Amino acid sequence: MVEITPNYEKFSSNIGELNYRILYPKNFDQSKTYPLTLFLHGIGERGDDNELQLKYVDKVFLNNKNYNDFPSVIIFPQAPLSDNWSSRILTDNEIRQAFQKNAIPTNSLQLVIKLMDSLVKEDFIDNKRVYLSGLSNGAMGSFELLKNRPNMFTSAVLICGGGNPKWAKDFAKTTSVWVAHGSDDDVVSPELSINMVNAIIKYGGSPKFTLYENVNHGSWYNVFEDPEYLEWLFSHTKN
């Protein structure tokens, strides 16, 4: 088995810097085109080591079989401890998370947007195959990213996250979305995902939805062990 190690990188702009790792496909050739995939980690993988963001996804994206079967340029950014991917507001109600319709993205998410804006312009990126996934806080940031870049992503798998249902109006018809959540999640209420799924349907989308029974917050384990995860994500192409 060949050890697969994404390169260490740092993206700089006028609003700050963002640590990220980038994984190139096997035998990468700049004269060819490849899909572009973005993965946003959860709240517990923030930091400045540019390594912790791979904690849960190493067995998925750094798996030799998946690496060969699903060639893509893959981006793994890391938010610092002082920030996160989502503009969500913590509340005292049962759901405990609120999302404003016209929220301004966090600095870290703005940096991700700038990074992705620059990457999709590269000649070796196939703009019809740009994929997104995230877990927990990363899924919340992903919903917000879809709101801000509704035409960028081909498909997205968002795990145990949430957002403002009104955001779905912007991306329901442009991005294929798979939403997954654990039914017993007491960290991020499954109601948040259910609300987003209902909104996507309301605004003309046709989302895939998986609610794992008797599963708490770690539903990403269920998704990552499902062979359909990458198969579904990479099966979509924009017209």
Domain annotation for the chain: domains and CATH numbers: 7-234 (3.40.50.1820)
- Residue 100's pLDDT band, with cuts at 50, 70 and 90, is confident
Cβ pair 70, 12 in contact under 8 A: no
Q: CA-CA distance, 24 to 6, in Å (whole number)?
A: 7
Residues 18, 21, 25, 30, CA torsion sign: positive
- Residue 239's pLDDT band, with cuts at 50, 70 and 90, is confident
> Do the strands 125-135 and 155-159 form a parallel or antiparallel pair, or are they unpaired?
parallel
Q: Say what the pLDDT of residue 1 is.
A: 60
- Report pLDDT digits (tens) over 15-62: 999 999 999 999 999 999 999 999 999 999 999 999 999 999 998 999
Q: Which of 183, 181, 180, 104 is nearest to 141 (CA)?
A: 104
Q: Which of 92, 103, 173, 94 is nearest to 140 (CA)?
A: 103
Q: Say what the pLDDT of residue 97 is.
A: 73
Q: In the structure encoding, which two tokens stand for residue 20, read together?
A: 């990220």
Any alpha helices (H) in the chain, and if so which ranges? 58-61, 64-69, 107-119, 137-148, 168-171, 190-202, 219-224, 228-234
Q: What is the pTM of this model?
A: 0.96
3-state helix, strand, coil in the chain (%, to 5): 30, 25, 45
